[in-house]
Amino acid sequence: MLDTETIEAIADELVEAARNKVPIPLLTARHPGMTVEDSYAVQSLWRRRNEESGRRLAGRKIGLTSKAMQAATGITEPDYGIIFDDMILETGSVLQWDVYTHPRVEVELAFRLNRDLAGPGCTLFDVLAATEYVVPALEILDSRIEMEGRTIVDTISDNAAMGVMVVGGRPVRPDEIDLRWAGAMLYRNEGIEETGLAGGVLNNPASGVAWLANKISAHGDGLKAGELILAGSFTRPMWVYAGDSVFADYGPLGVVTCRFQ
């Protein structure tokens, strides 16, 4: 495992990379023995640095929960990251494309919790009971680390590639629909690019939230009432460029849109 000084140096590099929009070299290339636990230690310190600067925790994201995303990245285990309050945008938002590095868009469902969730032993049914509503969301992926050759260690250290999320559509209680069959069609500039069902996320996106509660319990952490949890993408990431409009149609759950300029 990496020593404390190295973990601090990496976390500070990532804070600076987010500020100056220049990705840092691959961590695994520079630290071949770096482990998943090291990368979560980096992410935890990166979170603390941001909170010290005034950012507020508003939720969590889960990544790589579907076969579509695992096939797209070559990474076969889920990961998680932090969502700060300034990362949550409303549908119709206009985003500055050059603020992000290699931006990509994913189609997801987000869970708003109305009670705390903690592991170990958290189940899908615990998640459903603790959810106030589920709402459509787009995740905009960002990258503070070079893309080529990334591993799970690089991705976790990079806050699971979280940029921002765009929330919209129609919030529903989790008992109003079968979440597995919530679907979406993702368009870029009026052309359809991706389609998928939320059941692609561990058979039920609520299972992703349960996985997260159990995973972070090992670090003495838990999910809190009021947090918004992104459960993971059920389509492959879609590359976007300056001038692109994004439109995600969730059928009965409404639409989410954003535009890059």
Q: Which amino acid is at 4?
A: T
**Residues contacting 182, CB < 8 A, separation 6+:** 109, 134, 197, 198, 205, 250, 253
Asked if residues 47 and 80 have their Cβ atoms less than 8 Å apart, the reply is no
State pLDDT tens for residues 50-73: 999 999 999 999 988 777 777 777
In a 3-state reduction of DSSP, which class is residue 135? Answer: strand
Residue 247: pLDDT band (50, 70, 90) is very high
Query: Of 243, 49, 245, 44, nearest to 160 (Cα)?
Result: 44
pTM to 2 decimals? Answer: 0.94
In this structure, what token pair is assigned to residue 78? 């889920």
Across 114-190, where does the E strand assignment appear?
Answer: 131-141, 162-167, 183-188
Q: Which residue has the tokens 């979406």?
A: 184
Residues 157 and 136 sit within 8 Å (Cβ to Cβ): no
The predicted pLDDT at position 71 comes to 75
Could you check whether the bond before residue 136 is cis, i.e. omega within 30 degrees of 0? no
- pLDDT computed for residue 218 by the predictor: 86
